[in-house]
Structure 1
Amino acid sequence: MSIKAVVFDFGGVLIDWSPEYLYRTLIPDETERRWFLTDVCAMDWVIQQDGGQTIVEGTAELIAKFPEHETLIRAFYERWHEMIAGVLDDGIATLEKLDSAGVPLFGLTNWSAETFPYAWENFPVLRRFKDIVVSGRVKLVKPDPAIFAEMVKRVESHLPGIQPAELVFIDDDRKNAEAATALGWHGVHHTSAAKTDAKLRELGLPV
């Protein structure tokens, strides 16, 4: 089967997001900062908001556990936009080559429903996608097979009858790419644009 559509993750593939960008200024000591982002504002906590929990609820829960770090915890979402450095030019270049060749593009991202509007307003490249599944809106997160099923449903509305083997999914998180592969997609673990482009070319895509 030939590839009929490509699905992109956003953070780490197209958009340069990292809590480090904010917390380097708030916690200059690297050891202390590493502890805070591993044990307090950890990714497991972020995923709760990405899965649909409100920022108010998530923040309150974490402050209850770590009251001595209230100011730093509140900063996570109050200054969330400072964690975005911009777009990743090499990832955007891959997207643009596919788009120019007429390959249908879709987005599948773990992202809070409350913060995603900032990205939508500030990164016009997101309007290139025919549809985007935002985890916080559907209350499902990668690598749950259910969110991939939701993505297939959205793609099918544009490309009736499409099969998993006709889809590519690009994600910088290995477990998400592997989840797509386990469902019959072509999961691509994005570690560099050059390697991703090479894999896409192997699949017959014009990059």
Structure 2
Amino acid sequence: MTIDAVIFDIGNVLIEWQPERFYDREIGEARRRALFDAVDLHAMNERVDLGHGFQEVIYETAARYPDFAAEIRMWHDRWIELAQPVIPHSVKLLRALRARGVPVFALTNFGVESYAYAQTQFDFLNEFDQEYVSGRMRVTKPDPRIYELVEEQSGVTPQNLLFADDRAANVSAASARGWNVHLFEGPAGWADALVTHDLLSPEEAAA
């Protein structure tokens, strides 16, 4: 089957996204555990991913939890340190596909402002042929609607899409719509999948 476009998730596919690791480093594991037990920071971030104001959501949350206010504000004030490091092999694969003339899209749960900020820090985020950012679309993966919007806006048939994401629920939702999918567990496996689909040669896909 012909693949007409390859779709990359971003968090934990192109850029590592492990906020707990940042907080362990900055405030210690015990304080981090207390913070995450008291405050659902990932639910807070989901609101940002749905298009609500980046600073507004985080600072509102900080105000509701004064015992952890300084730590919560770090999610905004030091956000780029949470979204680190880059996964170099994945970036190489993105660029190898584009060099081959294969259209490459992004489909990511990401806030509007935080994505714009990330684009100033990571040049490869400006290299997609099309960007599907949940904050702009006001819907997040794995809601079926976000995949439907990608199909409508790209004009690519589901069976001709290949999508990589690190979350099984997101992959399953895409597969249910007929997309070709890959559960990302590391760039080497993704490279192998791209070779299997005859999108890259083994040499092009190498780290």
1:194 equivalent to 2:188? Answer: yes
Give 1:166's aligned residue.
160
Shift in Å at residue 146 of structure 1? 1.2
Q: Equivalent residue of 1:187, what SS?
A: strand
1:204 equivalent to 2:191? Answer: no
1:122 equivalent to 2:116? Answer: no
The answer (yes or no) to whether the contact 1:2–1:204 under 8 Å persists in 2 is no
1:183 equivalent to 2:177? Answer: yes
Give 1:8's aligned residue.
8
1:36–1:99 CA distance, 2 compared to 1 (3 A): same
TM-score by length of 2: 0.88
Cα deviation 1:72-107 (Å, max 9, x = unaligned): 111211111121334211111221221221111011
Give 1:159's aligned residue.
none
The answer (yes or no) to whether the contact 2:55–2:76 under 8 Å persists in 1 is no
Matched residues in 2 for 1:200 and 1:123: separation? 23
Q: Equivalent residue of 1:49, what SS?
A: helix
Give 2:70's aligned residue.
71
Q: Equivalent residue of 1:170, what SS?
A: strand
Q: Equivalent residue of 1:85, what SS?
A: coil
Cα deviation 1:105-135 (Å, max 9, x = unaligned): 0111111111111111121212221110111
List, as ranges, runs of 4+ consecutive aligned residues in structure 1 with deviation greater than 6 Å. Answer: none
Give 1:87's aligned residue.
86
Query: Identity of counterpart residues, as a percentage?
Result: 34
Number of residue pairs matched? Answer: 201
Shift in Å at residue 41 of structure 1? 4.6
Shift in Å at residue 6 of structure 1? 0.2
The answer (yes or no) to whether the contact 2:7–2:105 under 8 Å persists in 1 is yes
1:142 equivalent to 2:136? Answer: no
Give 1:53's aligned residue.
52
More divergent stretch after superposition (191-200 vs 59-68): 59-68
Structure 2 residues without counterparts, runs of 5 or longer: none
Structure 1 residues without counterparts, runs of 5 or longer: 157-161
Name the Cα RMSD after superposition.
1.9
The answer (yes or no) to whether the contact 2:98–2:104 under 8 Å persists in 1 is yes
Give 2:26's aligned residue.
26
Give 2:152's aligned residue.
153
